[in-house]
Amino acid sequence: MPSPVPIIAITGINGFVATELVLLFLAREWHVRGSVRTPDKAAAVKTHPAYERFFQQGSLEVVVVEDLDESDLGPLMEGVQAVAHLAAPLPKLDDPSLTLDDFKRPIVEPVLRILQQAHKPSSTIKSIAFMSSAASSVDLGAPPGKVYTENNWTPYTDEDCKSLDPHQNPMASVIWYFTAKKQAEQAAFEFHKIHQPAFSITTFCPPMIYGPAHYLQPGTNMSTVTGSQEGFVSLFKGRDAPLPGQFFWSFVDVRDVVDAFHVALTKTVSGRFLVSGHEYTWQEFTDKLQLIRPDLSSFFPLGQPKCKSEGGGYTPAKWAFDSKKLREELGIECM
């Protein structure tokens, strides 16, 4: 008698990374139950080219969970063996009317609610993985060249955050985001320590994520693309277009991120993992695009191709992330 098909719940399946994760688990013959926030988005994913045939086959289903910090999670998580939480609506970082709570509520609360739902006596869940961010490790005041590991946490506290005025400090919302990501991870590991649940808990901390964008519908207006892909899209806005600001200095391929999720969830591995590939600058990216496709050079921002460090390379990264633990424990070698 064949074994029953395992089921995974994945939040935010209309998102960039989540789409790649859905497709990976479907390829590995799992049944996927995904969430979106509205009925309109549920209807849209059912006809999405990346998903349509899987809905027709019955191997993919979608449920509406309006707010992960308030709505009933039962329809999403009942009867599943694994959970991947990737949906985390991000407030606008340049909105001075926001407060620390506007970041903590959508980032921290869903983590706790998912864990509480998974810990119910009727739960069938064996593994949970959360998408965090390398930002949860970064200290903006650290000297240049720092290499972060899983032992590093961003140093900002609630007291630090409450003292920041976004009208006076343009970095206030960035620090709030860093802090909320850290607190969500720490809340997950504290839950594991106190309750000793039967399921594994994993957090993944990538920097900027790039790669195939299967989540985009054909005909998508690229000017509406947000998140980590927004900077990448700006590399195709024309020769005179400005390069994006260089805030993060490391990136990882989306396929490596979803591979890490798959290994951790299927092997029930607990722990915190940095998931980083290489350091980069936007100038390096646009220079390489010019070399690879000189016939399309009019689409690529010129930037300052001669603006390199005295050593002949590009501007050194202000920080980097060590993915040694990822390689050793999960066997993932980032591209």
pLDDT tens-digit series, residues 89-116: 777 766 778 888 999 999 999 999 999 9
Q: Would you state the pLDDT for residue 127?
A: 99
Local confidence band at 2 (pLDDT 50, 70, 90 cut-offs): low
Does residue 82 have a pLDDT over 80?
Answer: yes
Which of the residue ranges 92-106, 134-148, 151-165, 235-249 would you say has the lowest mean pLDDT?
92-106
Q: Would you state the pLDDT for residue 78?
A: 98
Q: Would you state the pLDDT for residue 220?
A: 79
Pseudo-torsion of CA 308, 312, 317, 323, nearest 10°? 150
Residue with the larger pLDDT of the pair 217 and 278: 278
Q: Would you state the pLDDT for residue 307?
A: 60
* Bridge partners, 61 (sequence order): 33
- Write the DSSP string, 176-198: HHHHHHHHHHHHHHHHHHHH--S
Burial of 55 (0-12, 13-18, 19+ CB in 10 A): middle
Does residue 281 have a pLDDT over 80?
Answer: yes
* pLDDT tens digits, 185-217: 999 999 999 999 999 999 999 999 999 988 887
Burial of 85 (0-12, 13-18, 19+ CB in 10 A): buried
Does residue 154 have a pLDDT over 70?
Answer: yes
Q: What whole-number percentage of the chain has pLDDT above 90?
A: 81
Contacts of 313 (CB under 8 A, 6+ apart): none
Burial of 326 (0-12, 13-18, 19+ CB in 10 A): buried
Q: Would you state the pLDDT for residue 137?
A: 98
Tokens of 68: 């992960």
Q: How many residues does the chain have?
A: 335
Contact 91, 173 (CB under 8 A): yes
Contacts of 48 (CB under 8 A, 6+ apart): 14, 217
Does residue 18 have a pLDDT over 80?
Answer: yes
Helix (H) or strand (E) holding 283: helix 282-292
* Bridge partners, 128 (sequence order): 83, 201
Cα angle 221, 229, 25; round to 5 = 100
Once rounded to an integer, what is the mean pLDDT over residues 233-254?
A: 92
Candidate CATH numbers 3.30.2180.10, 3.40.50.720, 3.90.1150.10, 3.30.70.260; the one for domain 7-221+252-277+321-330: 3.40.50.720
By DSSP bridging, strand 250-253 and strand 278-279 are antiparallel
Exposure of 319 in the CB half-sphere (CA atoms within 13 A): 19
Which of the residue ranges 10-24, 42-56, 271-285, 294-308 would you say has the lowest mean pLDDT?
294-308
Alpha carbons 134 and 161: distance in angstroms, whole number = 19
> In the predicted model, what is the mean pLDDT of the chain?
93
Instruction: Tell me which residue of 65, 59, 75 sits closest to 23, measured CA to CA.
Output: 59
**pTM reported for the whole predicted model:** 0.94
Alpha carbons 104 and 185: distance in angstroms, whole number = 12
Once rounded to an integer, what is the mean pLDDT over residues 140-164?
A: 96
* pLDDT tens digits, 303-326: 987 665 555 578 888 999 999 999
Q: Would you state the pLDDT for residue 312?
A: 59
